[in-house]
Amino acid sequence: MSNVRQTYITFAMLMLAWILAWTLKVSVLDSRFTWLTTGPGAFAFWSVAKVVVWILPALWLIRASGRSVRNVLNLANWRSALAWGLSVGLVIALTDVVPRALQGHSLLTLSPMPGVLNALIVAPIFEEFLLRGAVFGNLVRAHSLRNANVATSLLFVSLHLPGWYFMGHVEKLTAPLGGAFSIFVLGLAFGYATYRSQSVVAGMVAHFVNNLAA
């Protein structure tokens, strides 16, 4: 089986497991364990679910491609990763911050602590490790940068679909801003930063800066 085909099949299985995780929580666990519905309980559940459903398959994909986590992080390129991550992240962030500043709104709109941890730590690290580290890293070895980045960004959008559906936000599929199109564009930007720096850390940094300002 080719590495590309293996990557797509693994991601499809991952998506099925992710849908099952949402179904289990919303349809079964939330009604039996109310402490899982919000706050630290919900944060703990989703963090563990993401490790099992996202990170373990990502580790397998990386290993199956002949790479290692060390290759994916490529900390020897930390200066380039930081430069690209901050540059891309700040350009994206300015599209949110400048309009709010001009309208006299608060520049930062962070949610309570579990939400902050998810937005600034879990999402940038876990999503980038899976999408840009494992998936994009595999696809770009067989496809052009453009094709690999577009495909990965589409998968990045698909990763959000179960959450939108179960939380009643399906309108985000067609929302001009803050929905599927915005996430697709962000995915392209994170992928480009990762490619240019040859380190997924750049994608993580850009993702962090974007979420900090979003």
Give me the pLDDT at residue 62, please: 98
Classify 161 in phi/psi space as left (phi over 0), alpha (psi -120 to 50) or beta.
alpha
DSSP code, position 143: S
Give me the pLDDT at residue 102, please: 65
* C-beta neighbour count of 175 within 10 angstroms: 14
Does residue 197 contact residue 136 with C-beta atoms inside 8 Å?
Answer: no
Give me the pLDDT at residue 90, please: 95
Give pLDDT < 70 ranges for the chain.
1, 97-113
Give me the pLDDT at residue 178, please: 82
Give me the pLDDT at residue 109, please: 58
Output the pTM of the full model.
Answer: 0.93
Give me the pLDDT at residue 101, please: 61
Give me the pLDDT at residue 107, please: 54
Residues 211, 214: Cα–Cα separation, whole Å: 5
Helices (H) and strands (E) in the chain, counts: 12, 0
Give me the pLDDT at residue 177, please: 81
* C-beta neighbour count of 33 within 10 angstroms: 12
Give me the pLDDT at residue 119, please: 86
